[in-house]
Structure 1
Amino acid sequence: MRKQRWSRLVCLLALALCAGVAQAAAPACAPRSGSYVEQARDLAVDQPGPHEGQGRTTAYPFFEQAADFDLVFRQRALHRGASIGEHRNDKDEIYYVLSGRGELMLDEARREVGPGDAILTRKGSTHGLKQLGEQDLVIVVVYRRVQPAEC
């Protein structure tokens, strides 16, 4: 039941962000047109911590093959000790924490984040995120694509 509420909230967030989003050039790969459903288990990609972060993460890059869709909607699990390295944003970006705990660095201030926390980082802001504790830190990341997707 609780998981369903989180899923609905994440979907509503994505729909709200899609409203009024400018159209981007279609990706160079074979785009997928029309409406469709993707399942996280089919998309899982093992990756190092982004932005020179530490440890291992699992990314779920939803709708990367969607034609004329300039919104990035990604789930990421930061496994034990993993982090997203501190970096300066070149765009507005949202992190939404689904589960686990983390330490957020946002413009030199540090604080703990957990389920239900939504983090807005603006263009020019500096931020990083580190997983804490035993449980994976699972977040949803949403931002407008700066450039067309690549295959």
Structure 2
Amino acid sequence: MKKISSFYISFIFSLFFIGIQNLASAQSTDTSKFILQNDVNVAKEEPGTHNGGGKTIGYNFFGDAKNLKTVFRKRTLKAGSSIGYHLQKEDEIYYVLSGNGKMKMNGETFSVKPGDAILTRPGSSHSIEPNPNTDLTILIVYGKK
């Protein structure tokens, strides 16, 4: 049986507790108990964000949920696309679901693979792209403004 890293467990628990906190605050004005969404219902073809270019598939989960303070997105970067190099204004987590790619953080480039989680902090700059001839699918989580 494959051992699950403590970082991965902490990451999942963090997402769970963020969700619980948001649901608790939302219940005072929103009477729904949960929202279920599937990739096929939210998938949208988009260019790479932050002027990254190329073709991506964006999945904006719970974008219309009332009082939700967290943005939860999935993005598949098709070969030749990217999220362009940009300045980060809030904490943001990237989690690699599938594929392999390269991330540039503050001028340093490193490889990313499934299971990698990257926390980008305010004031840092970054971009991400798949390796040639492959797709890269990531989760992106950050607080709403």
Shorter-chain-normalised TM-score: which range?
Answer: 0.7 to 0.9
**Structure-to-structure mapping, 1:65-80, within 5 angstroms:** 65-80=64-79
2:61 maps to what in 1?
62
Partner of 1:15: 16
Please report how far the alpha carbon of residue 33 of structure 1 lies from its aligned counterpart in structure 2 after TM superposition.
Answer: 4.0
**Number of paired residues?**
134
TM-score by length of 1: 0.79
Structure 2 alignment gaps of length 5 or more: 1-8
- Report the residue type matching 1:90 in the other structure: K
SS of corresponding position for 2:15: helix
Percent identity over paired residues: 39
- Off by >6 Å, runs of 4+ in structure 1: none
Deviations 1:27-83 (A, max 9, x none): xxxx89431210111110110000000201000000011111010000000001110
Distance in 2 (alpha carbons) for counterparts of 1:44 and 1:100:
18
User: Of the two structures, which has the highest relative contact order with CA contacts closer than 8 Å and spacing of 6 or more?
Assistant: 1
Which residue does 1:131 correspond to in 2? 130
Matched letter for residue 17 of structure 2: A
Shift of 1:106: 0.6
| Structure 1 unaligned residues grouped into runs of 5+ | 1-8, 25-30, 147-151
Q: Which amino acid aligns with 2:19?
A: C
Name the Cα RMSD after superposition: 2.6
Please, what TM-score do these two structures have when normalized by structure 2?
A: 0.82
